[in-house]
Amino acid sequence: MGLRMSQNTQAETSPDQAAGAEILLRALKDQGVEVIFGYPGGAVLPIYDAIFAQNAIRHILVRHEQAAVHAAEGYARSTGKVGVVLVTSGPGATNAVTGLVDALMDSIPIVCLTGQVPTHLIGNDAFQEADTTGITRPATKHNYLVKRSEDLARMVHEAFYVARSGRPGPVVIDLPKDILINKAPYAAAPETPHRSYRPQVEPDAAQIAKAVAQLKSAKRPVIYTGGGVINAGPEASEALRALVRKSGFPCTSTLMGLGAYPAGDPLFLGMLGMHGTYEANLVMHGCDVMLNIGARFDDRVTGRLNAFSPGSKKIHVDIDPSSINKNVPVDIPVVGDAGRVIRAMLAAWDADTTEVDRPAIAAWWKQIDEWRGIDCLKFRQDMTKGAVIKPQHAVQRLYDITRELKAKTGRETFISTEVGQHQMWAAQYFGFDAPNRWLTSGGLGTMGYGLPAAMGVQIAHPDALCIDIAGEASILMNIQEMSTLAQYRLPVKVFILNNQYMGMVRQWQELLHGGRYSESYTAALPDFVKLAESFHGVGLRAKSVDELDDVIRAMIESDRPVIADICVDEKENCFPMIPSGAPHNEMILGPEHGTTLQQGGAKSLTDEGLVLV
Amino acid sequence: MATQDTRSATISVLVENEAGVLARVIGLFSGRGYNIDSLTVAAVDPVLNLSRINIVTSGTDMVIEQIKAQLDRLVPIHKVADLAKGGPYVARELALIKVVCKGADRVEALRLAEAFRARVIDATLESFVFEMTGNTDKLDAFIELMRGLGLAEVSRTGVAAIARGTTTI
Ligand SMILES: Cc1ncc(C[n+]2csc(CCOP(=O)(O)OP(=O)(O)O)c2C)c(N)n1
Ligand SMILES: [Mg+2]
């Protein structure tokens, strides 16, 4: 094993002493780490040497440190495990920062090991020195600088505990080179609770009882769930399904929560928020009791705060007490792990003998079905040969064909996205029936997330179909990872909805800036087919609707990395849309419903709305 | 229910005495746009390796609750207490106040210092350094009076605070 690497110098030390790099790897192994996404450099060479001498942990060599973090996020989000990253000092660490903030915003457990100049040089502007703990302090849940060898093992174990406990998040361990080389003692993960960080996971029984009583009194209820349910593990999604079905209440989800409740179920209203469905947003606006589980009343979801769900009693379940009463004052706060809370609610539901007001709920559903009846996501695809592909249709077909595949072969599909219109169309038209299958950069909205994230998923699920639904602008932000796919023979599929524009930017310019498309058109795009080929992958292109299905099938059937360049309608916009700063009941439905962006925008186009993002 | 009125709050925080912990707290306040009216920090328990940070801040009830929750989720923080919420408390601050003056102003400065129970800890023929302990309002009032009498420099510690009676953080 790697721990015996330097036998000669080990003779006089105790068996539990070894070079810091070896102690580090031993701690990682004890934490159950199987994969590290990384990129080498001078400051971390001792770790690379230790990696070389062992087989337990696999190292995936990415092509950019940002991608290492996104890949670890994909790995973490699709498995529920902590994702691990290894980068060198200085530029290695600064390149990782975007990924760290992304993981922080979306509550993804990551441990990122960064190299550092030796302790005696810290503060001297040494070569490739950066104040990594200073830079990453607001970019992480917590960070460590290991200054003494005897702290190394303890800090590594603690970092994993912090990353996965409570509300998960990224943790950085900054490792000066001398710490990696000098002998350090090993310590096992502590059995005792952490000195100061002990987040509450078990909910308060009285709050649960209050919440259930409130829910049972509802006439127009809604259950609104978020990424917290996904983070609480598949059992939490199971419990959620039981609660929704037991209550018969309508359920909606944030972008991050998709898959916790099956998209095809009649009790599911689709996603809510800025590009959510008409019915989900009107239900949020008109409900009398709202149960929020693991969502954070984000501005993409609430719209204008003082007009958000004005008449409702609000129950908010979150593992992070600072999420409660942050944006929206709530009536019944419940702190705890989403899964445990839902299970406690199920038990309390049965214990409370009050009957739900079934006639009122039936009337509520009647209203909801009317809203549903307008079919807010409808679009018109011209099916004649040579017709332009609508991006919605492309996602819809991708969904249908992957579902056929699942039915036939049982092969699972995982979808990641970049950021923009294609991301919203993916969320709207791809139905997710299980948690952990949907990976998108929600909080930070990081273009360049999708390809490395899909790569991380493929590493964790070698037999699954991993597709990045991309925009032609976003994909160029981490396109170098095609090279990683080739090296490790990862058959990730990149499905580009190529509209030649930074479509989401163009849409906002249409809405708010008089259609002046300043710098939102990408001239001189690469030939994505040749690009795929030059990276040892397969390039495919669909130029019209009649070519679409064949391209999708060829993409799925290929056992190699594929870029499918889907040329879609350049002018299509993403609807429904609640412009920033508008209330939920002022949705723009789009041309299929007789409102264009300009008409819809005019009403909400106040200066106040203009300053919002 | 929470009001929209701004109130002042004195928050005491017990933290692990380790590198970077003060930066985390200050970064939290600047990053999230909270006010810091006063901040003090010192090690208070060498055995348990704890420091205490006292922060005087202001905001609506919702903001102050948010500040406490945000502080509480920092990993090296052991305890967060909103002193006014826990009952009566005492808060004290120490100031060193240099006044440069001669003649009648000098007599007046000394007379006021006595009235405010400020101690003279340094004097020259044309200056005094007063040491004064009290609550923030009292210090402010005295410093304001010295302004007309040759106030030259002020050095203040910020507020240290503790609950009255047997209650502890
Ligand atoms: C790193 C980064 N830079 C800028 C943005 C702002 N932004 C949001 S969407 C978008 C356009 C994305 O274009 P594309 O990938 O083609 O997707 P489309 O909207 O056309 O589907 C931009 C520039 C961002 N989200 N992330
Ligand atoms: Mg585009």
Domain boundaries, chain B: 7-82, 90-161
Annotated active-site residue in A5, A105, A447, A504: A504
The residue whose C-alpha atom lies closest to atom 11 belonging to ligand 1 is: A502
Tokens 């559903």 — which residue?
A365
Annotated catalytic residue A418: no
Distance CA A40, CA A608 (A): 47
- Average pLDDT over every residue of B157-161: 97
Cβ atoms of residues A473 and A498 within 8 Å: no
Is the pLDDT confidence value at A10 over 70? no
Annotated catalytic residue A504: yes
The whole-number pLDDT of residue A8 equals 42
DSSP symbols for A178-246: HHHHSEEE--PPPSSPPSS-----SPPHHHHHHHHHHHHT-SSEEEEE-HHHHHT-HHHHHHHHHHHHH
Q: Which of A282, A293, A345, A281 is nearest to A324 (CA)?
A: A293
Helix axis angle, A338-351 to A234-247, nearest 10°: 30
pLDDT tens string A323-355: 999 999 999 999 999 999 999 999 999 999 999
- Please tell me if the CB atom of residue A275 comes closer than 6 angstroms to any atom of ligand 1: no
Selected residue of B18, B73, B74, B82 to mutate for chain A interface (largest A Cβ count, 10 A): B73
The whole-number pLDDT of residue A585 equals 83
The whole-number pLDDT of residue A606 equals 62
Annotated active-site residue in A128, A381, A480, A500: A128
Structure tokens at B20: 């970077």
The whole-number pLDDT of residue A613 equals 75
> Cβ of B66 under 8 Å from any chain A Cβ?
yes
Q: If pLDDT is split at 50, 70 and 90, which confidence band does A441 have?
A: very high
Q: If pLDDT is split at 50, 70 and 90, which confidence band does A5 have?
A: very low
This prediction has a pTM of 0.95
C-alpha distance from residue A509 to each of A84, A502, A514 (Å)? 39, 11, 6
Is the pLDDT confidence value at A3 over 70? no
Annotated catalytic residue A345: no
Residue in A474, A508, A577 to alter for ligand 1 test, most ligand atoms within 8 A of Cβ: A474
Nearest to B75 among A138, A145, A196 (CB): A196
Interface predicted TM-score (ipTM) of this complex, two decimals: 0.93
Helix axis angle, A545-557 to A391-409, nearest 10°: 40
Is the pLDDT confidence value at A227 over 80? yes
- Average pLDDT over every residue of A20-30: 98
Nearest to B75 among A142, A147, A326 (CB): A142
Nearest to B16 among A147, A166, A196 (CB): A196
Q: If pLDDT is split at 50, 70 and 90, which confidence band does A15 have?
A: low
Nearest to A320 among B19, B73, B75 (CB): B73
Structure tokens at B48: 């348990």
Ligand approaching nearest to the C-alpha of A574: 1
Residue in A441, A499, A505 to alter for ligand 1 test, most ligand atoms within 8 A of Cβ: A505
Lowest mean pLDDT among A21-35, A234-248, A532-546, A581-595: A581-595
Structure tokens at A247: 């209550």
Is the pLDDT confidence value at A4 over 50? no
- Please tell me if the CB atom of residue A446 comes closer than 6 angstroms to any atom of ligand 1: yes
Ligand approaching nearest to the C-alpha of A503: 1
Q: Which fold has domain B90-161?
A: Alpha-Beta Plaits (3.30.70)
- Average pLDDT over every residue of A194-221: 98
Query: Nearest residue of A to residue B69 by CA position?
Result: A322
The whole-number pLDDT of residue A7 equals 41
The count of other CB atoms within 10 Å of the CB of residue A603 is 13
Cβ atoms of residues B112 and B142 within 8 Å: yes
On average, the pLDDT of chain A sits at: 95
pLDDT tens string B49-106: 999 999 999 999 999 999 999 999 999 999 999 998 989 999 999 999 999 999 999 9
The whole-number pLDDT of residue B113 equals 98
Q: Which of A89, B118, A575, A577 is nearest to B109 (CA)?
A: B118
Kindly tell me the sign of the dihedral angle through the C-alpha atoms of A607, A613, B5, B6.
negative
Domains B7-82 and B90-161 share a fold: yes
The whole-number pLDDT of residue A601 equals 54
Give the homologous superfamily in CATH for domain B7-82. ACT domain (3.30.70.260)
B31–A138: do the CB atoms touch at under 8 Å? yes
Annotated catalytic residue A128: yes
Lowest mean pLDDT among A326-330, A410-414, A484-488, A607-611: A607-611
pLDDT tens string A402-425: 999 999 999 999 999 999 999 999
Residues of A with CB under 8 A from a CB of B: 133-134, 137-138, 141-143, 145, 147, 162, 166-167, 195-197, 199, 320-322, 324-326, 329
- Average pLDDT over every residue of A181-193: 96
Count of A–B CB contacts within 8 Å?
48
With contacts defined as CB-CB under 8 Å, which chain B residues touch A324?
Answer: 69
Selected residue of A155, A195, A319, A323 to mutate for chain B interface (largest B Cβ count, 10 A): A195
- Please tell me if the CB atom of residue A208 comes closer than 6 angstroms to any atom of ligand 1: no
